[in-house]
Structure 1
């Protein structure tokens, strides 16, 4: 089973778990306040409380450990 990455919901602060193998893109939506969005394929997007840089670091770290 792949290692899941833990993020925080921006609305209620509850944990969100993401499989890094299924992530297709991570970006920042420039609203007020700006939101970090994790997209899975073209149909599903998930907003997280973490910054873009922190989100990418967490996903890359999990992907790096999955190869070992």
Structure 2
């Protein structure tokens, strides 16, 4: 089973878990407040509370650990 990455929902602070193998894009939406968005293919986008740098680092670390 792949290692899941834990992030925080910006809406209610609940934990959300992401499979790094399924992520296709990570970007910052410049709203108020700015949100970090994790995209899974073109169908599903997930907003998280963590910064863009934190998300990318977490996903990269999880991907490198399985090798």
Across the two proteins, how many residue pairs are aligned to each other? Answer: 67
* Structure 1 counterpart SS, 2:2: coil
Q: State TM-score, norm by structure 1.
A: 0.97
RMSD of aligned alpha carbons:
0.3
Q: State TM-score, norm by structure 2.
A: 0.99
Aligned to 2:5: 5
* Structure 2 counterpart SS, 1:50: coil
Aligned to 1:59: 59
After the TM superposition, which segments of 4 or more aligned residues of structure 1 sit over 6 Å from their partners?
A: none
Unmatched segments (≥5 aa) in structure 2: none
2:36 aligned with 1:45: no
Unmatched segments (≥5 aa) in structure 1: none
